Structure 1
Amino acid sequence: MRTASVDGVPVFHAEGPPPLSAGLVFGVGRRDETFVRGGLTHLVEHLAMSAVGRTPYDSNASVDLVRTEFTASGTPDQVREFLDRICRALRDLPVDRLRVEADVLRTEGGAAAPPAVGSLLSERYGLVGPGLAGVREPALTSLTADDVREWARTRFTRQNAALWVTGPLPEGLALPLEEGAPPARPPLWRAEVTTPGWLESAAAGAVSIGAELPPGLAGSVTLEILRRRVEDELRHRRGVAYAVGADRLPLDADTRFGVVVTDVRPGQENLAAAVLWREVQRLVGEGPGPEELQHERTALGALLDDPRARTEEVVAHAEARVTGVPVHDVDDMRRELAALTTEEIRETAARLCDGALLGVPEPLDPVPAGLTRVPPWSAEAVPGRVFQRRRLTGVPKGTTLVVGDDGVSAVLEQGTITVRWADAVGLVRQGPGEFQLVGRDGFTVPLSVSDWRDGEEALALVREAVPDELQVDDDDVDEPAGLLLFRAPEHRVREAIAMSNHGATVLGNDEWTAVVADDAPDFAVRLAELSAPLGRRTVALTLRRTHADLEYVLFRGRKEVARHRWGIAPADPRPLAEAVLRPEESVARLHDAAGTIHEIAEEAVAALGLPAQVPALLAGEPVVEGQRIEGTGAFGGFRASMRGDFVPGQGKGTRLERYQELARRRPGWFRAVNVVAALVYGVLLWLIVSYRDDLGSWRAAIFGVLMGLGLLNAVWDARPPRRPAAPDPVAVPADRTPTG
């Protein structure tokens, strides 16, 4: 192996078979992120590779717990070109693709470690550092262009990079990376977990065991011997497993996390856990047999003698340079392997046994001797204000929520879940009024305002205590809700919004009214709130845009009746044509429209009579024309309606609305009609009372109530109209005479 330097980046290269292969490695991975900003490294990698585009040679990139790597294989010119393009892309990321790549990562659903391993890491190290390998990235779509640019500028630098090459260095090789200091990493944080212990893992169909191990070849040999024993028992003897794997993850210069994982047939999880724990204890007590140790010496010796080992050595040295984890060369490993003893294996197995976490997908029954359950509850609750649960919710009876100066506790009959402010790593909004407060130790307190009396106050206290940078929206909340339009007069929509619990801005024309929400509720909540007061037959239309397409969804009340996505598949134009009273041929032509999202939106405005601002609103432009309506609830909205806040324009509205307007103004002729009506109702009521025996008691009562209500309404509407308030007197200067 030889070393060199290119533009300040250390290079490790050795001869190898063609084609020429190279890898640019950076010392940044999932462990360097935070819970709420998870995915930054992966986004940088995706954006850089998207800038490179398709290549006629093999190229790839990957992100794991501790490093990011860009690789290519091809001719020297191809490899040189790839490395140059990657370096330039990292300096100027194509952030216009940020939202697309964020959604790609959401679809990919990748993790820095398999679920069975990630679960153990999260239990041991919490939701920081290597423990982040066990949780998904909750807020990818909240990351901004500035976020990823800054991450690339400070992490993807020449001081945090190394290059490995198998073959001669390409002529003219350049690595134009940013300057920057290597990022400082805090020491490993460990959760207070009593070991050896067992826990319920989120990995279905897998049983795993893991613990911290010291550096050195003894750890790898110990894990491999344990793996073979478990495989012999579960696969070859019992037939309840197929694949048993072992791995040793480097976390820092002095710490490795060793794991053995086995899949298992459903219903055999307890058996697999018992076998795994038994073999660990047996290896501690008996050590490896002579044939087992000799087998490992032979197998590892063959790997070290393979000519490809020298090639792998340059990769290991490049990774060691950026991760800070020392690496031994092939000759050192041969000497260490030759000196390995049975006692070293027993001592390493004892370290594994004492620090073991055993992950199972369901509770152990019975629990093997020597294992205790990792507590699923917090040690204590915080003092503070107590909030009682609301009835008819999913919260168990007797549960209380405590919000105090130190943190939050959910106190149940079975135990307590506490997250202290100092340990909070995220407050994640999961829907309207739905949050989760996540602690560094992995405990999570669900917060739903509808679950607790004075729930809004409880949530306000929590949001005030948690720093703003830790408050994010879950990606699942960020699904495109679209622009909501009602085929109803604007004054009716304004009245419906006022009677709901959430405000919005409205704008419209004589036929359609657009509702632009700027607060908590999502599309489904908004549609449900407004459809009821507007009427079950009211037509609602939502226009949704994705990265490449525009789609509409047609509703009658809250029921979906049709949808269409332009450019994807044909759809029946009849439901939309009937709902909006347009010719079917016109809607069919609209369905066949082609072009950009903006162009199709403009055609929809022309064909359906939508407000002219629709294309701009779909593009995310601010509302420049519109009226903000506050949601005041049913009672507040009713009062506003009675005051006449939602009176339609002259000559507009339904007959009922026009009558309500007359009842507010009460012109002379209207009052006279009501005086006559009051006399008529009075006479009829007198006749009913006089002839109640002939009518029968129940008929007389019904007619009497109806006539009485009519009489009261007529008398009320016969009142003189309210006089407008007198204007404030205007002072007239002494030297001026007011004109007539």
Structure 2
Amino acid sequence: MRQLTVDGIPVFVADGPPPLAAGLVFGVGRRDETFVRGGITHLVEHLAMGALGRTTVETNASVDLAVTEFTATGAPERVARVLETVCTALADLPTDRLAVDADVLRSERGLAAAPDTAVLLGELYGASGPGLASMREPALRAVTADQVRAWARRWFVAGNAALWLVGPVPAELSLPLPGGPVPERAPQLRRDLPTPAWTELPVDERVAVAAELPRGPADAATAGILRARVEEELRSRRGVAYAVELDQVPVDAGRRVVVLSSDARPGEEAVVARLLWREVQRLADEGPQPAELDHERALVAEYLADPRSDADEARATARGLVTGSPVTTGAELREEAERLDAEQVRAVAAALRDAAVLGVAAGTEAPAGLPRLPQWSADRVTGRVFRRARRSGAPRGAELVVGPEGAGVDLGEGRLLTVRWADVIGLVRSPGEEWTLVGRDGTGVPLVAADWRDGTEAVELVRAAVPSELQVTDDEVHDQDGVLLLRVPVHRVREAVGTSRDAVSLVGDGEWTLVAPDGARSAEARALHLGAAGPRTTALVLRRSHADLEYVLYRGGREVDRHRWGVSPGDPDLLARATGRPVHAVAGVLADTGAPEAVLARFAALLGLAGRPAGVLPDLLAGRAVEGLERVEGRGAVQGLRAAVRGDFAPPPGTGGALERYARLGRTRPAWYRAVNAVTGLVLALVAWVLLADGRVALGVLAALLAVCSLAEVRPPRRDAGPPGSPPAAVTPTG
């Protein structure tokens, strides 16, 4: 292997047959991100690769815990063009496909580590550093173009890059990366855990053990001997497993995590766990056999004799340079193998045993004598206590506590979930109006307002205590959002919102009321709530994706149909009946295969949208801000009912149905109306007297109450009664 420099970037070159293989590596990965901005490195990688377009060169890119790598294989001049294009894109990152690539990553569901390794890293490091491998990326859609560009400017710079090549150096190799130093990394802090211990893996038919170890010359040999012993026992002797895998995760210059994992035949998980743990203890207590040491030395000698080891060294040297991890050269590896002795291996195995966390599948019996890692928080914060609501998903006796130091849930019997404000790394809003407060140790406190008395206030207290930059909306909420169209007049929607705790921005045209998305509650949730105002109430949730337009149809608060133009057809008959439009006209619009903008215009015309609603609909679907919408704040059931009685939600004069006309009579109370109520009240009072005298108390009381209600309508109307919102007669419009 030889080294040279191109545009200030170190290049490590190994000889090899054609075609040329190259890898541009950067010292940034999942461990360098934050919880709420999880996936931002992967977004940079996708956006840079998108700049390549279609090419005949074999290209790929990847992001793991510590490194982002762009690879290319092909003719030298074409590989050079690929590398130059990637560097140019990283210097001025194109973000026009940001929203599309965010959804691509959601579909990819890539992990920075194998699932069992990721879980154990989460146990060791919580929800930061290497532990982020265990956490999902909750808000990829929330990452903005400015944020992803700033991330590229910080990490994808010449000072944080290296290139490895296997084959000839291209004549016109150029790496035009922006200049910049190696970014400062946060320390990778291991949690203070009582080890050895075991924990559950949310992965079926897997068993794994992980431990953080100081780097040393016998690490690789110890891990290799242990893997060989476990594979011999599980696969060759007993046939209860197929593959035993070894992974070594670099933490920093002085530490690494060794992970040994195995599959398990269904029903044999406990056997695999016991045997794996037994071999760890046996190697720690007894050390290796001479034949095992000889085998490790032979493996090293054979590896170094293979010409391909030079390529491995070039790649490892490039990765080690950008991550700050020491790299062992071939000569050093040979020397370490020659000096290897049994005590070195035994000491490393003992350190592994003492720091180990054994992961077993749920429901699997752990090895005897091995304690379980703590499942719950150690203490409870003090503060305001919120009791369990009558209809709650929380267990009986559970309490939510929000105080000056943090928040937590006490589920009883010592089951505590506590996150202190100083340790908060995120507050995530999920579908179903659920929030999760996430702590640095990986603890999540679920917050559902409906589970607690005064739960809405509790959630607001938590939100007020968490910095806004740590509050994100889960991408799945956006999947349920959109623009809500209700086939009811505006005053009916005002009343439905006014008697709730919701708040919306809306605009109407007489037949339809449009409710704008605001991020506080999904359009589908509002459709279920507001659409339940009547059994025939029609609601449509319209949403626009990158390439498609779709709607969800609700009747009476129940979903009845979905349609995505050109992809997943809905039923024209259902939409025609729900909207009162001709079936043939509806079928024609639903069959339109034009551009989404043109389809939306035809659909709006079909529904009869006019005026302001028709004008703002495209902007709202595109996520653009719209000014001048009417804001309606919920007042709760009691205050909302009082407002309805006062006529705050009454329709404009000359509009509305029978209920609205009756409500207007109740406010104006003309003479004939009072006379009818007087006669009705006297008749009901007489009926009540007869029923009570006959011993039919329940009916008598009911008749008496109705009599009181009728007689209450006999009083004269208020002098200032008039159209809702009009000033008293003696007051000018200017006051």
Q: TM-score range by the shorter chain?
A: over 0.9
**RMSD of the TM alignment (CA)?**
2.6
Tell me if 1:393 matches 2:396.
no
- CA shift, 1:618, in A, is 1.5
Check conservation: 1:678, 1:711, Cα contact below 8 A. Answer: no
Tell me if 1:315 matches 2:334.
no
- CA shift, 1:108, in A, is 1.3
Report what 1:647 is aligned to.
650
Counterpart-to-counterpart distance in 2, 1:524 and 1:167: 57
Report what 1:612 is aligned to.
614
Secondary structure of 2:261's counterpart equals strand
Q: Deviations over 1:192-243 (max 9, x none)?
A: 1111111122332211111123334421111111111111111122221111
- CA shift, 1:189, in A, is 0.7
Aligned residues: 723
Secondary structure of 2:51's counterpart equals helix
Tell me if 1:638 matches 2:635.
no
Counterpart-to-counterpart distance in 2, 1:730 and 1:355: 78
Report what 1:623 is aligned to.
626
Report what 2:582 is aligned to.
583
Instruction: Check 1:718–1:448 CA distance in 2 against 1; reply closer, same or farther (3 A cut).
Output: closer
Secondary structure of 1:378's counterpart equals coil
Q: What stretches of structure 2 of length at least 5 have no aligned partner? A: 722-727
Counterpart-to-counterpart distance in 2, 1:628 and 1:287: 74
Check conservation: 1:427, 1:435, Cα contact below 8 A. Answer: yes
Counterpart-to-counterpart distance in 1, 2:109 and 2:258: 24
Report what 2:88 is aligned to.
88
The 5 A counterparts of 1:229-628 are: 229-362=229-362, 365=365, 367-369=367-369, 371-411=370-410, 412-431=412-431, 433-518=433-518, 520-532=520-532, 534-610=533-609, 611-613=613-615, 614-628=617-631
Counterpart-to-counterpart distance in 1, 2:688 and 2:43: 82
Matched to 2:28, the amino acid is: V
Secondary structure of 2:713's counterpart equals helix
Q: Deviations over 1:357-408 (max 9, x none)?
A: 1111236646434x32212122222333333322332322333333333222
Instruction: Check 1:404–1:707 CA distance in 2 against 1; reply closer, same or farther (3 A cut).
Output: closer
Report what 1:177 is aligned to.
177
- CA shift, 1:552, in A, is 1.5
Check conservation: 2:681, 2:707, Cα contact below 8 A. Answer: no
Runs of 4 or more, structure 1, over 6 Å off, are: 698-701
Report what 1:74 is aligned to.
74
Report what 1:661 is aligned to.
664
Tell me if 1:719 matches 2:729.
no
- CA shift, 1:335, in A, is 1.9
Secondary structure of 1:436's counterpart equals strand
Instruction: Check 1:521–1:417 CA distance in 2 against 1; reply closer, same or farther (3 A cut).
Output: same
Instruction: Check 1:512–1:682 CA distance in 2 against 1; reply closer, same or farther (3 A cut).
Output: closer
Counterpart-to-counterpart distance in 2, 1:401 and 1:634: 24
Check conservation: 2:379, 2:418, Cα contact below 8 A. Answer: yes
Instruction: Check 1:438–1:563 CA distance in 2 against 1; reply closer, same or farther (3 A cut).
Output: closer
Instruction: Check 1:252–1:654 CA distance in 2 against 1; reply closer, same or farther (3 A cut).
Output: same
Report what 2:62 is aligned to.
62
Check conservation: 1:500, 1:530, Cα contact below 8 A. Answer: no
Check conservation: 1:207, 1:262, Cα contact below 8 A. Answer: yes
Check conservation: 1:313, 1:329, Cα contact below 8 A. Answer: yes
Counterpart-to-counterpart distance in 1, 2:366 and 2:249: 31
Check conservation: 2:666, 2:713, Cα contact below 8 A. Answer: no
Secondary structure of 2:418's counterpart equals strand
Instruction: Check 1:683–1:647 CA distance in 2 against 1; reply closer, same or farther (3 A cut).
Output: closer
Instruction: Check 1:661–1:221 CA distance in 2 against 1; reply closer, same or farther (3 A cut).
Output: same
Counterpart-to-counterpart distance in 1, 2:22 and 2:519: 50
Instruction: Check 1:284–1:727 CA distance in 2 against 1; reply closer, same or farther (3 A cut).
Output: same
Check conservation: 2:26, 2:322, Cα contact below 8 A. Answer: yes
Counterpart-to-counterpart distance in 1, 2:207 and 2:582: 63
Q: What is the TM-score normalised by the length of structure 2?
A: 0.93
Check conservation: 1:688, 1:704, Cα contact below 8 A. Answer: no
Check conservation: 1:11, 1:164, Cα contact below 8 A. Answer: yes
Q: What is the TM-score normalised by the length of structure 1?
A: 0.92
- CA shift, 1:121, in A, is 1.4
Deviates more, 1:591-600 or 1:82-91: 591-600
Matched to 1:237, the amino acid is: R
Counterpart-to-counterpart distance in 1, 2:285 and 2:686: 106
Counterpart-to-counterpart distance in 1, 2:595 and 2:588: 16
Instruction: Check 1:152–1:390 CA distance in 2 against 1; reply closer, same or farther (3 A cut).
Output: same
Counterpart-to-counterpart distance in 2, 1:256 and 1:584: 67
Matched to 1:521, the amino acid is: R
Check conservation: 2:478, 2:522, Cα contact below 8 A. Answer: no
Identical pairs, percent:
51
Check conservation: 2:20, 2:74, Cα contact below 8 A. Answer: yes
Secondary structure of 2:437's counterpart equals strand
Q: Deviations over 1:621-671 (max 9, x none)?
A: 3334532111112222222222222222332211221232233234xxx31
Report what 2:725 is aligned to.
none
Check conservation: 2:428, 2:472, Cα contact below 8 A. Answer: yes
Counterpart-to-counterpart distance in 1, 2:182 and 2:393: 49
Report what 1:737 is aligned to.
none
Report what 1:738 is aligned to.
none
Instruction: Check 1:492–1:394 CA distance in 2 against 1; reply closer, same or farther (3 A cut).
Output: closer
- CA shift, 1:262, in A, is 0.5
Matched to 2:430, the amino acid is: Q
Deviates more, 1:40-49 or 1:565-574: 565-574
Deviates more, 1:609-618 or 1:101-110: 609-618
Instruction: Check 1:711–1:446 CA distance in 2 against 1; reply closer, same or farther (3 A cut).
Output: closer
Secondary structure of 2:96's counterpart equals helix
Counterpart-to-counterpart distance in 1, 2:345 and 2:515: 69
Matched to 1:128, the amino acid is: S
